[in-house]
Amino acid sequence: MRDVYALILAAGQGKRMKSKHAKVMHVLNGKPIIDYCVEAVTGITKNVVVVVGSKRQEIMEYLGERVRFCIQEEQLGSGHAAKVSMDLFPDEGTIMVLPGDVPLIKKETLASLLEYHREGHYAATILSCIMEDPSGYGRIVRDNDGNVLSIVEDRDASEDIRKIKEINSAVYCFELKYLKNALEKINNHNDQGEYYLTDTIAIIKNENGRIGALMGNADELSGINDRVQLAEMEKRMNDAILKKLMRDGVTIMDPDHTYISGMAKIGKDVVIYPGTVIEGSSIIGEDCVIGPYTRIISSRIGKGTNISYSVVIESTIGDNTNVGPFAYLRPNSNIGDRVKIGDFVEVKNSNIGDGTKVPHLAYVGDADIGSGVNFSCGAITVNYDGRVKHRTRVADRAFIGCNVNLIAPVEIEEGAFVAAGSTITEKVPQKALGIARCRQTNIEGWVIKKFKE
């Protein structure tokens, strides 16, 4: 909307997080806390300003050109943060103001707040909610007719006011002309010596501005102040994701020990064993069995594939493939259909064709392995010469024996065999046997002579 603006307050130091990172940059279900707030408001307006403070660099780098920034050099409170940003907004229009640490806030809730604000012709509207334990939150103070009089911060409240359970979520709508006027009149005469944004409500009320309060959902409006609350929020979000997946046809054997990103897509009849972590925008096809104790990051898995006790990072695995136990697929590994990647196998930046077997104790790095290849125990691609990484090419139906070193760049042509224990530095032609090892010599009686004493 052209005359709707948004202000996200993210300059707080987040001291209770005890971190070198800004509080809003701590990761929640795969992305920084502030990302959720930015996504919600940009669903309403593209005119978004984020106020940043002392730990601003990582926030600014992460959000980039998605928003505009205002720097609050001294953290003197929420009112001061809003005040220093006002030059970025016109004198007329509606502005939504919210903190950067309410990740469950929905676009639909903000849209309802905006609609309520405009239909009521309010100068300011508070998104409030009822909390059974309102400790630490500002209280909504109303008169006998239910009209909002002010917001009183918990630390400044009397005993009677502390009994009020309707709290301020710190999410608002203001008419800009009223907000700008009120911000010029707030002071820091309070317990913290800070400029509170909440003080603008009483000022606007006293100058005949109408104040509204829309009741919201307490769960949706919960903020994050420390790592305990971060973990609690993580669990709540994860529980909701897992329940939806189970209702959509996914079997999760132990939800208390399974983590799945909200960006992941899981097909029907997938079975997920305990200890599984699926992160990022991963896609798991139907009928897969994942886990136990498997981590999949931003990868695509085909149908009917089994992965156990393994790590898969930014890779692709085809249909009806078996991975693990204890396999490690590093970024840009592309595994075909009906492939076996066995125990203690590492694959990196490689393509492995359909029906190929890499059964155990092998390393495939910077390689293109064809279909129907047998890549035996202990075989490795030697891809790094100390300066540059080179590729190895193994064509279809080749056989690589045990404990073979393929010194890249090198090519094994279709149907060729490489004898166990060989170190291959030159091309092995089609259907040839490549062998590169010393002839065995037996010295009779050597042990007796050596150890006769």
* pLDDT of res. 2: 61
330 is in an annotated binding site: yes
Q: Is 23 annotated for ligand binding?
A: yes
387 is in an annotated binding site: no
Among 393, 396, 391, smallest CA distance to 412 is for 393
* Structural domain boundaries in the chain: 4-220, 227-434
Establish whether 257 is a catalytic residue.
no
CATH architecture of 227-434: 3 Solenoid (2.160)
Within 13 Å and on the Cβ side, how many CA atoms surround 246? 13
Residue 314 near residue 299, CB atoms below 8 Å: yes
Which structure tokens are listed for 276?
A: 């599984």
Please tell me the pTM assigned to this model.
0.89
| CA-to-CA dists, residue 431 to 263, 327, 375, angstroms | 47, 30, 16
144 belongs to an annotated ligand binding site = no
12 annotated ligand-binding residue? yes
Sign of CA dihedral 190, 191, 192, 198: negative
DSSP state letter for 438 = P
pLDDT at position 5 is 98
Instruction: Report pLDDT for 453.
Output: 58
Count of residues in the chain: 453
For 4-220, CATH gives: 3.90.550.10
pLDDT at residue 137, rounded to an integer:
87
Residues 35 and 262 sit within 8 Å (Cβ to Cβ): no
pLDDT of residue 82: 97
CA 4: distance to chain centroid? Answer: 29
**Residue spans of the chain under pLDDT 50:** none
